[in-house]
């Protein structure tokens, strides 16, 4: 089970896409094509984490080290501004979906979903992060087709799985952890990265 981590204070993040696609050139050297493959995913490096009093830092450190010790994933909020207007309670509409789009219901009628916003959903007990690839508008019944990037993973979401636009999260393994101490009065992480897994 994922271990949730709440980052206190101000911080900066450097998100990136881990791309498993392949670029190839034709025999003539004039043509080029790209093969899109399943498995592309996100990672985020958290930088400039604030120095905390040791008592406040301990809870953060406990979550990080527990994830390492138990071989668990870490669940961290993905930075995103809130929507200006309510968009409803969108959910996957139909099982077995794959590829680059999701059929969704539960939006507020006429809701505008701009390109570039992120959402997460749960499939097979794990949170997966996606970005809306093309702007979409829900119909009068709250239905819409949402094109996503990267493509849906091999674990297909169940029908009814909620799309979390309000508080998307990235879940993944944590890289090497290192922190600094100042006489056990203040402590901070230098940087750490959370990388999604399949």
Predicted confidence band of residue 24 (pLDDT cuts 50, 70, 90): confident
For residue 150, whether the previous peptide bond is cis, meaning omega lies within 30 degrees of 0, is yes
The percentage of the chain sitting over the pLDDT mark of 90, rounded to a whole number, equals 44
Q: What is the pLDDT of residues 58-96, one digit of tens each?
A: 888 888 888 888 889 989 888 788 887 889 999 999 999
For 67-100, give the DSSP string. Answer: HHHHT--EEEEPP-PPPSS--EEEEE-SSS--TT
Domain ranges in the chain are 3-78+171-196, 88-165
Predicted confidence band of residue 147 (pLDDT cuts 50, 70, 90): very high
pLDDT at 172: 93
CATH, domain range 88-165: 2.40.30.290
pTM metric for this prediction: 0.85
How does 127-147 read in b/e, with b if 16+ C-beta sit within 10 Å?
bbbbbbbeebebeeebebebb
């Amino acid at each position: 089970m994922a271990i949730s981590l709440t980052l206190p204070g101000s911080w900066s993040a450097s998100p990136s896409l881990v791309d498993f696609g392949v670029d190839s050139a034709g025999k003539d050297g004039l043509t080029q094509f790209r093969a899109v493959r399943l498995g592309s995913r996100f990672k985020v490096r958290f930088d400039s984490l604030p120095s905390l009093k040791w008592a406040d830092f301990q809870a953060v450190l406990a979550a990080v080290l527990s994830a390492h010790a138990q071989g668990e994933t870490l669940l961290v909020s993905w930075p995103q501004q809130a929507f200006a207007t309510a968009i409803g309670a969108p959910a996957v509409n139909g099982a077995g979906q794959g590829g680059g789009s999701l059929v969704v219901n539960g939006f507020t009628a006429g809701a505008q979903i701009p390109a570039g916003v992120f959402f997460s959903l749960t499939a097979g007990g794990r949170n997966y992060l996606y970005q809306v690839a093309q702007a979409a508008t829900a119909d009068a019944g709250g239905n819409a087709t949402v094109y996503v990037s990267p493509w849906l993973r091999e674990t297909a979401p169940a029908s009814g799985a909620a799309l979390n636009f309000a508080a998307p999260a990235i879940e993944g393994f944590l890289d090497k952890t290192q922190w600094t101490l100042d006489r056990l009065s203040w402590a901070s992480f230098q940087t750490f990265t959370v990388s999604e897994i399949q």
